[in-house]
């Protein structure tokens, strides 16, 4: 009897069937006319283009696989539980290849793909893995991709491009999601996929949304030391401890900087043409109000902080049909849009939670006495309190709706690099301040700008067991993005992110430092500063959205926001 029950619990995922070696060989010719001063006609002739996909000898064979969590499934390295392959190109001349890695389920599978998760990473030369997607259940695209050649009815795992000879190694994992209950399934279930790689030569794919934003905004040039100042020209004069203003450094508009995926276009200053309407609440949405008017996404999290469910009251945050509004932080280098939540109104007054840009008001972490609690995760993958709040909101508000298909597993950064003791580095009352690298990049007002502030969009690598680089469906803004947007330490400004005169200050996901027994994180409240992780602040989610259809309506203004359907 015990053996029979044991067999019922076994789920067999068959060997991952490897489809092919894809070779694209061709000759492409391109010519262009120089559009500036002069009459020279220039031409470029590209040579042979070769793209090759090869697999290693190991496939995925899970015998006796039971449901598992993402934390376990995304790190398994035992034989048969991961599949390594390589995509390389040989390109002579000025030519680009758009390519896509996809999965196609085989016939005869006996377990539903909605219980099977796939997870793709890139293998770096130092042996580390870079996540290219969040773990996702098997789900096929209903349309084809004309830029890469991927047909419809396959699951897209990753899309990129090559314009020079290169070789990249990838690793795929496949596992049974923890939501599956194996009891009574009869045993012997199988699920097999075929991994395909498609590629086509052509111009690098630029989404219509990016094209429209670039058409609607004149691209500005960064000026020397502009990040020493807020977008209204203000800066913190440490000699007097007060705000001063330099009118020459007023900066508003669309600018560019490099991120991991290419050129990113970010909005800065007092702009009002980066408004987006995307998503709506499918049903009435409730949060739980605890003591001191803090608001949590679940009764469990409210109870965890307040000690008893008796201290938690259910409060309606939004009504069914309420539309969600967002601000565009930037166009990412991969063409997706990075959006920060702006509430159920284009112009929230921030007088209380329901009328604000927030979905909750909670702590970043409940413990504070270790630098690790400044990480968005810590102890190699334990979720911070704030991450659990963001994840719960996304799952309940967007994750179970049709809008989820537009939200990609985007890059997020909790930069815990550069942790070191600085003497009298920070505001005067902090004394010795153990700072992270972000403080050195963004807090140079403390040194009377011995060197300029220098925000970045690339996530530095870290050796700490907390923080780091993530692929997530939802997260928080970074301190660097706040500075790019026009915020600055101790300076009241007028950027599109500034909540104005209200008590709705909100969290970033960037560690700032550790001082006097407090783990400290960057926050935004009329100006940029930092606070202890056990303080309470607004929860303002950030997502990354991709669409091939452009904006069907709107011009980005508050009166006529862009719409993503």
Joined tokens for residue 243: 């705000």
Q: What whole-number distance in Å separates Cα of residue 412 and Cα of residue 417? A: 14
pLDDT at residue 428 in the model:
46
Going by C-alpha positions, the residue among 534, 537, 530, 536 that lies closest to residue 370 is: 534
Q: What whole-number distance in Å separates Cα of residue 410 and Cα of residue 563? A: 20
pLDDT in tens, 59-70: 565 555 678 899
pLDDT in tens, 348-375: 988 889 999 999 999 999 999 999 999 9
Strands 82-91 and 166-176, by their bridges, are antiparallel
pLDDT at residue 364 in the model:
98
- What's the whole-number mean pLDDT along residues 539-560? 92
Query: Rounded to whole angstroms, what are the CA distances from 49 to 168, 318, 466, 496?
Result: 16, 53, 42, 45
Asked if pLDDT for residue 146 goes beyond 80, the answer is yes
- What's the whole-number mean pLDDT along residues 508-512? 97
Asked if pLDDT for residue 564 goes beyond 70, the answer is yes
More confident residue, 258 or 193: 258
- What's the whole-number mean pLDDT along residues 410-419? 95
pLDDT at residue 63 in the model:
54
More confident residue, 35 or 411: 411
- What's the whole-number mean pLDDT along residues 270-287? 96
Strands 97-105 and 82-91, by their bridges, are unpaired
- What's the whole-number mean pLDDT along residues 544-561? 91
Q: Give the start-to-end residue ranges of the domains of the chain.
A: 2-201, 212-563
Q: What whole-number distance in Å separates Cα of residue 81 and Cα of residue 73? A: 9
- Determine whether 559 is exposed, middle or buried from the number of CB atoms within 10 Å of its CB (0-12, 13-18, 19+): exposed
pLDDT at residue 470 in the model:
95
Q: Which of 79-93, 112-126, 273-287, 414-428 has the highest mean pLDDT?
A: 273-287
Q: Which of 54-63, 185-194, 256-265 has the highest mean pLDDT?
A: 256-265
Strands 193-201 and 17-18, by their bridges, are parallel
Average pLDDT, rounded, for the chain = 84
- Determine whether 275 is exposed, middle or buried from the number of CB atoms within 10 Å of its CB (0-12, 13-18, 19+): buried
Confidence tier at 195 by pLDDT (50, 70, 90): confident
Strands 17-18 and 41-55, by their bridges, are unpaired
pLDDT at residue 469 in the model:
96
User: Residue for token digits 């009328």?
Assistant: 355
Joined tokens for residue 139: 């789900």
Angle (nearest 5°) at CA 335 between 406 and 399 = 20
For residues 13 and 62, is the Cβ–Cβ distance under 8 A? Answer: yes
Q: What whole-number distance in Å separates Cα of residue 385 and Cα of residue 407? A: 23
More confident residue, 52 or 341: 341
pLDDT at residue 257 in the model:
97
């Amino acid at each position: 009897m015990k053996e029979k029950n044991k067999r019922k619990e076994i789920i067999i995922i068959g060997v991952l069937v490897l489809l092919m070696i894809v070779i694209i060989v061709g000759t492409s010719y391109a010519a262009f006319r120089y559009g500036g001063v002069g009459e020279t006609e220039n031409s470029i002739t590209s040579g042979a283009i070769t793209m090759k996909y090869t697999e290693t000898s190991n496939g995925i064979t899970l015998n006796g696989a039971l449901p598992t969590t993402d934390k376990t499934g995304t790190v398994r390295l035992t034989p048969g539980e991961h599949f390594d392959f390589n995509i390389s190109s040989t390109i002579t001349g000025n030519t680009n290849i758009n390519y896509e890695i996809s999965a196609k389920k085989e016939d005869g599978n006996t377990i539903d793909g909605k219980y099977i998760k796939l997870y793709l990473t890139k293998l770096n030369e130092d042996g580390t893995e870079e996540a290219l997607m969040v773990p996702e259940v098997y789900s096929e695209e209903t349309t084809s991709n004309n830029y890469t050649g991927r047909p419809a009815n396959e699951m897209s795992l990753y899309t990129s491009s090559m314009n020079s000879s290169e070789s990249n190694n990838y690793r795929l994992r496949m596992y049974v999601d923890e939501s599956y209950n194996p009891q009574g399934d009869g045993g012997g279930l199988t699920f097999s996929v075929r991994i395909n790689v498609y590629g086509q030569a052509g111009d690098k794919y630029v989404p219509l949304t990016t094209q429209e934003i670039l058409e609607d905004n004149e691209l500005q040039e960064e000026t020397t030391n502009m990040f020493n100042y807020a977008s209204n020209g203000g800066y913190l004069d440490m000699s007097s401890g007060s705000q001063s203003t330099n009118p020459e450094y007023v900066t508003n508009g669309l600018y560019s900087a490099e991120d991991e995926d290419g050129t990113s276009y970010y909005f800065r200053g007092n702009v009002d043409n980066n408004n987006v309407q995307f998503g709506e609440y499918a049903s009435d949405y409730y949060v739980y109000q605890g003591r001191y008017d803090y608001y949590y996404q679940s009764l469990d999290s409210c109870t965890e902080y307040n000690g008893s469910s008796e201290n938690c009251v259910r409060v309606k945050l939004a009504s069914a049909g309420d539309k969600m509004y967002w601000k565009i932080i930037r166009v990412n280098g991969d063409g997706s849009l990075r959006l920060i939540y702006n509430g159920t109104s284009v112009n929230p007054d921030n007088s209380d939670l329901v009328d604000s840009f927030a979905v909750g008001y909670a702590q970043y972490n409940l413990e504070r006495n270790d630098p690790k609690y400044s990480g968005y995760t810590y102890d190699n993958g334990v979720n911070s309190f704030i991450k659990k709040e963001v994840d719960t909101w996304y799952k309940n508000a967007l994750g179970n709706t049709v809008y989820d298909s537009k939200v990609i597993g985007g890059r997020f950064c909790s930069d815990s690099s550069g942790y070191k003791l600085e003497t009298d580095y920070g505001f005067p009352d902090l004394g010795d301040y153990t700072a992270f690298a972000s403080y050195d990049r963004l807090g140079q007002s403390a040194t009377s700008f011995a060197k300029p502030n220098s925000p970045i969009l690339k996530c530095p690598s870290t050796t700490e067991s907390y923080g780091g680089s993530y692929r997530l469906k939802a997260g928080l803004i970074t301190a660097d993005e706040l500075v790019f947007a026009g915020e600055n330490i101790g300076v009241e400004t007028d950027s599109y992110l500034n909540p104005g005169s209200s008590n709705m200050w909100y969290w970033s996901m960037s560690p700032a430092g550790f001082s006097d027994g407090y783990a400290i994180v960057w926050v935004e409240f009329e100006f940029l500063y930092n606070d202890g992780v056990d303080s309470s602040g607004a929860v303002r989610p950030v997502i990354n959205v991709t669409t091939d259809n452009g904006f069907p309506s709107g011009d980005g203004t508050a009166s006529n926001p862009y719409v993503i359907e």
